[in-house]
Amino acid sequence: MTEELHRRYIPDGQDNLYDTHKCRVLRVYKQTEMDKVFLFRFIDQEVGKNWKFKPGQFVEVSLPGIGEVPISICSSAMRIGFFQLCIRKAGRVTTKIHELKPGDIVGIRGPYGNGFPMEKFFGRNLLLVAAGLGMAPLRSVFLYAIDNRWRFGDITIINSAKYENELLFARELEAMRDIAEAENIQIIQTVTREDSPNRLKGRASEHLDKVMIDPKNSTVALCGPPRMYKSMFEKLVEMNYDPRRIFVTLERRMKCGIGKCGHCNLGNSTSWKYACIDGPVFDYYDIISTPGMLE
């Protein structure tokens, strides 16, 4: 994972930056009623071998005739040639993606975006807070941390959703519980809108006091709907987390993913950012200089 990845938009062997690589769906897993996880492999093995990404980056998934959508990669960055996407059925393109079956082909370009600066996280505790679909990019971070366990301190992940059956990767996290304990990894899963015997109740921010890692020397990554960020941020700072070590990922409308189409712009005239190339991961300094980011 080097910085060099960040600016390389055109994957090898491709001269039109809007062109895609064919990827085959290998498996489809149903996560919840609205979400499915897709496992992809590049059809061109050469491309697949050289294709690397950072946690927090996204790809553009293209279905010719329907459209193209940005989707975060949710699998481990350590597996070469394969990647997973967790996709919520939200509209025209995602509905069609949900109809895909193993063996079907899609077009993929990317990876795009800055991704999380994982090397800056090394040697520190890690707190991951996901709400709803936010779990998708954070899963990638989480898996990365597990794969490189020795590079991190204590790890806590908070996964939240409205309802129990909307919790993403809940079973997977559940299945890891034993190993996690042995590895000093804390898993908190909470639902906000219903009482569930297996889960905690309430928003992620309400369970921050249960987090066992020491705020000092910790890095935090947040991903969820924009409206959760502000209160979360304030609460974390209150709890002595270093604001400069809090990262958020943002969602905006995107058409190109590479800073051309202009839709994902945010901020105001002194801090004019494109979520696709300057983000989607933003840090403290971006947040304080770019109004509207936490809204």
Ligand X SMILES: Cc1cc2nc3c(=O)[nH]c(=O)nc-3n(C[C@H](O)[C@H](O)[C@H](O)COP(=O)(O)OP(=O)(O)OC[C@H]3O[C@@H](n4cnc5c(N)ncnc54)[C@H](O)[C@@H]3O)c2cc1C
Query: What is the footprint of another protein within residues 56-75 (CB under 8 A)?
Result: 62-68, 75
One-letter amino acid of 294? L
Strand intervals (E) in the chain: 21-30, 35-42, 58-63, 67-72, 82-88, 105-112, 125-131, 155-161, 185-191, 200-201, 218-223, 246-249, 265-268, 271-274, 281-282
**Residue of 3, 26, 49, 91 interacting with another protein (CB under 8 A):** 91
Q: Kindly identify the residues of this chain, within the stretch 18-47, that bind ligand X according to CB under 6 A.
A: none
Determine the residue with CB nearest ligand SF4.
Answer: 262
Residue 76 vs 219, nearer CB to another protein = 76
Query: Residue 254 interacts with ligand X (CB under 6 A)?
Result: yes
Tell me the pairing of strands 58-63 and 105-112: antiparallel
Q: Which stretch binds ligand X (CB under 6 A): 5-13, 62-70, 121-129, 170-178?
A: 62-70
Nearer to another protein, 140 or 205 (CB): 140
Give the CB-nearest residue to ligand X. Answer: 91
Range in contact with another protein (rule: CB under 8 A) among 31-39, 201-209, 212-220, 236-244? 31-39
- Bridge-partner residues for 60, per DSSP? 70, 109
String of b and e for 54-70 (b: at least 16 CB within 10 Å)?
Answer: bbbbbbbbbbeeeebbb
The site partner of 72 among ligand SF4, ligand X, another protein, none (C-beta below 5 to 8 Å per kind) is ligand X
Q: Judged by CB under 6 A, which of 53, 58, 83, 116 binds ligand X? A: 58
Q: How far apart are CA 122 and CA 251, in angstroms?
A: 26
Write out the binding residues for [2Fe-2S] cluster: 256, 261, 264, 276
